[in-house]
């Protein structure tokens, strides 16, 4: 977790779609990709926490909510054996954050990917279906 040592704020840049950043949507619930790096909603505040798998971070958006991997299928009927799970913004309602809210940086192929406590990786959507702007998380064990 040395990636986040000393960091108070970060931008989450997409490796697959150059020039795009994970952004908190203005609705206060969604997370999307944005090409506007200088906007306030592409900045995430880093809060260190101890998770079940070791040191983790909570990522708080400009709207005061946390990056969270929702544990229910995002798109029913897609035919996928493991449908994607949406990343969203959520309030911290307990003293102990749920596993879907705890993130760890994992080194993969010259970059870092984020894995939540549910074992899902944050990845950008829209590579093949560009009309989808959501930012899901997946169970893949390889770098997105």
pLDDT tens digits along 37-96: 888 999 999 999 988 888 999 999 999 999 988 765 545 555 555 545 567 888 887 778
Domain 2-138's class?
Answer: mainly beta
Q: Give the β-pairing of 111-116 and 85-90.
A: unpaired
Q: Which residues contact 115 (CB under 8 A, 6 or more apart)?
A: 103, 104, 106, 121, 122
Where does residue 109 rank: exposed (0-12), middle (13-18), buried (19+ CB within 10 A)? exposed
pLDDT tens digits along 2-38: 788 888 999 998 877 778 898 998 888 888 888 888 8
Contact 23, 14 (CB under 8 A): no
Q: Return the domain boundaries, the chain.
A: 2-138
pTM of the predicted protein model: 0.76
Is the pLDDT at 133 greater than 80? The verdict is no
pLDDT tens digits along 99-125: 889 999 888 887 888 888 888 888 766
């Amino acid at each position: 977790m040395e990636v986040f040592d000393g960091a108070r704020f970060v931008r989450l840049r997409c490796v697959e779609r150059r020039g795009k950043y994970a952004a908190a949507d203005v609705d206060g619930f969604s997370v999307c990709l944005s090409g506007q790096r200088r906007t306030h909603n592409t900045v995430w505040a880093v809060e260190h926490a101890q998770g079940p798998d070791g040191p983790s971070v909570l990522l708080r958006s400009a709207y005061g909510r946390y990056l969270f991997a929702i544990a229910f299928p995002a798109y029913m009927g897609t035919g996928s054996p493991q449908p994607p799970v949406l990343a969203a913004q959520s309030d911290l309602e307990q003293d102990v954050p749920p596993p879907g809210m705890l993130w760890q940086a994992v080194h993969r192929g010259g970059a870092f990917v984020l894995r939540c406590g549910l074992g899902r990786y944050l990845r950008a959507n829209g590579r093949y279906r560009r009309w989808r702007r959501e930012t899901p998380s997946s169970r893949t064990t390889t770098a997105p």
